[in-house]
């Protein structure tokens, strides 16, 4: 007797030992990963086997990338097989540049293109100050967009520009609480609330699903996807070696190779091209704030781990 054929699927939600797998025809079924250590994340392409009214994930296809954070205690995987990561910030509450830098480094480490979006254009002076704080990121080549979600339901120019950059891609939406992430998801996916409810009922996870990562199709042709993730307060980078940091920071990377010592840490050595770029008025330059972030991260990632 031939073994039953494995069916292709896409993981669109996960909670504990359950996941929701979408078939190519759009139908969805609860599946359970096989094996105690088998872990699937949203965005995984899997092969699954039907078993009565549920299924079993038998195989996870090779991932193009995996966006995750890691601290001293645990690893938190957000999603796999991404085209880009959208980091949504706002003029109020004031965003953390350290958090932003950590998310950008994590994306760079996985070869995922980051997209930085600053929301709440209606806040006038506060918005102007926040936009000015992002100037170094624009200068180093990151795409930084303006966004104003307050007002009527009709998309404004800023939202239309963002929609064009999302079209045909799989994008993880990441950002701190209060930045407007839920508002953005609901504007781009009017049925998001209903879909979240369906996922909650399917996985029997109730309110917990709203703090889990969830996949949404933006268009009926299922070409453009948004992945909504929980807000983050801390973003650990313990999976990244301290010596890799400069290559993953776009303002530091062009200066590498210009130091006197090949193993320069860019902290105290003479003839350091990075330190020479500190406070330089013209490009390539490193701002004091960015250098302080690098110092803190290097110290954190160099600490002995037990």
- CATH number of 250's domain: 1.10.40
Residue 145 CA to residue 119 CA, distance in Å, equals 9
Q: Tokens in use for 200?
A: 């909650």
Cα 191 to its chain centre, rounded Å, is 22
User: Are 72 and 217 contained in the same domain?
Assistant: yes
Does the residue 236 lie in any domain?
Answer: no
How much is the pTM? 0.90
Q: Tokens in use for 273?
A: 């091209």
Residue 287 CA to residue 292 CA, distance in Å, equals 9
Does the residue 90 lie in any domain?
Answer: yes
Residue 128's contacts (CB-CB under 8 Å, 6 or more residues apart) are none
User: Are 91 and 29 contained in the same domain?
Assistant: no
User: Are 98 and 162 contained in the same domain?
Assistant: yes
Residue 179 is assigned to a ligand binding site: yes
Residue 182 is assigned to a ligand binding site: yes
Residue 132 CA to residue 120 CA, distance in Å, equals 14
Q: For the chain, what is the domain count? A: 3
Tell me, what's the pLDDT at 73? 81
CATH number, residue 73? 3.40.50.300
Structural domain boundaries, residue 291? 242-302
Tell me, what's the pLDDT at 155? 47
Residue 176 is assigned to a ligand binding site: yes
User: Are 135 and 121 contained in the same domain?
Assistant: yes
Tell me, what's the pLDDT at 154? 41
Residue 210 is assigned to a ligand binding site: no
Helix (H) or strand (E) holding 67: strand 66-70
User: Are 33 and 145 contained in the same domain?
Assistant: no
Does the residue 77 lie in any domain?
Answer: yes
Residue 19 is assigned to a ligand binding site: no
Does the residue 255 lie in any domain?
Answer: yes
Q: What is the rounded end-to-end Cα distance, in angstroms, of the chain? A: 51
Burial tier of 305 (Cβ tally within 10 Å: 0-12, 13-18, 19+): exposed
Cα 281 to its chain centre, rounded Å, is 32
Tell me, what's the pLDDT at 196? 65
Residue 76 is assigned to a ligand binding site: no
Residue 197's contacts (CB-CB under 8 Å, 6 or more residues apart) are none
Helices (H), 208-287: 245-248, 273-276
Please provide residue 114's backbone torsions phi and psi, each rounded to the nearest 5 degrees. Answer: -90, 150
Residue 257 is assigned to a ligand binding site: no
User: Are 46 and 19 contained in the same domain?
Assistant: yes
Does the residue 1 lie in any domain?
Answer: no
Residue 119 is assigned to a ligand binding site: yes
Does the residue 184 lie in any domain?
Answer: yes
User: Are 82 and 211 contained in the same domain?
Assistant: yes
Residue 153 CA to residue 160 CA, distance in Å, equals 12
User: Are 23 and 124 contained in the same domain?
Assistant: no
Please provide residue 294's backbone torsions phi and psi, each rounded to the nearest 5 degrees. Answer: -60, -45
User: Are 118 and 162 contained in the same domain?
Assistant: yes
Residue 264 is assigned to a ligand binding site: yes
User: Are 70 and 149 contained in the same domain?
Assistant: yes
User: Are 38 and 161 contained in the same domain?
Assistant: no
The residue from 19, 39, 60 where one domain ends is 60
Residue 121 is assigned to a ligand binding site: yes
Residue 156 is assigned to a ligand binding site: no
Does the residue 235 lie in any domain?
Answer: no
User: Are 152 and 187 contained in the same domain?
Assistant: yes
CATH number, residue 30? 2.40.50.140
Does the residue 234 lie in any domain?
Answer: no
pLDDT tens digit at each of 306 positions of the chain:
566 789 999 999 988 778 999 999 999 999 988 876 668 999 999 999 988 788 999 999 999 999 999 988 888 899 999 999 999 999 999 999 999 999 999 999 999 999 999 999 999 999 999 999 999 999 999 999 999 987 544 446 789 999 999 999 999 999 988 899 989 999 999 887 656 666 666 665 544 444 578 999 999 999 999 999 876 667 899 999 999 999 999 999 999 999 999 999 999 999 999 999 997 888 788 999 999 999 999 999 998 554
Inter-residue long-range contacts of 298-303, CB under 8 Å, 24+ positions, other chains counted:
298/242, 298/245, 298/265, 298/267, 300/237, 301/237, 301/238, 301/240, 301/241, 301/242, 301/245, 302/242
């Amino acid at each position: 007797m031939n073994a039953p054929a494995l069916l292709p699927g896409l993981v669109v939600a996960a909670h504990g030992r359950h996941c929701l797998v979408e078939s190519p025809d759009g139908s969805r079924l609860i599946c359970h990963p096989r094996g105690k250590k088998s872990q699937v994340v949203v965005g995984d392409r899997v092969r699954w086997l039907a078993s009565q009214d549920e299924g079993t994930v038998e195989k996870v296809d090779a991932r193009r990338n995996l966006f995750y954070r890691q601290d001293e205690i645990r690893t938190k995987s957000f999603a796999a097989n991404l085209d880009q990561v959208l980091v949504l910030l706002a003029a109020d509450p004031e965003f953390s540049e350290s958090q932003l830098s950590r998310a950008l480094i994590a994306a760079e480490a996985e070869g995922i293109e980051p997209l930085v979006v600053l929301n709440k254009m209606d806040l006038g002076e506060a918005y102007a100050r926040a936009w000015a704080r992002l100037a170094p990121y624009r200068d180093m080549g990151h795409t930084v967009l303006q966004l104003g979600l307050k007002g009527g339901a009709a998309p404004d120019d800023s939202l239309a520009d963002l929609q064009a950059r999302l079209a045909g891609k799989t994008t993880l939406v990441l950002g701190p609480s209060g930045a407007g992430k839920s508002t953005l998801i609901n504007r781009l996916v009017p049925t998001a609330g209903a879909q979240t409810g369906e996922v909650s009922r399917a996985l029997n996870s109730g309110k917990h699903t709203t703090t889990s990562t969830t996949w949404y199709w933006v268009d009926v042709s299922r070409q453009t996807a948004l992945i909504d993730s929980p807000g983050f307060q801390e973003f650990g980078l313990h999976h990244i070696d301290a010596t890799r940091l400069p290559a993953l920071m776009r303002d530091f990377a062009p200066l590498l190779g210009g130091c006197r010592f090949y193993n320069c840490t860019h902290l105290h050595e003479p003839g350091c091209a990075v330190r020479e770029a500190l406070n330089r008025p013209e490009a390539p330059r490193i701002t004091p704030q960015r250098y302080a972030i690098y110092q803190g991260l290097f110290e954190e990632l160099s600490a002995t781990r037990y």
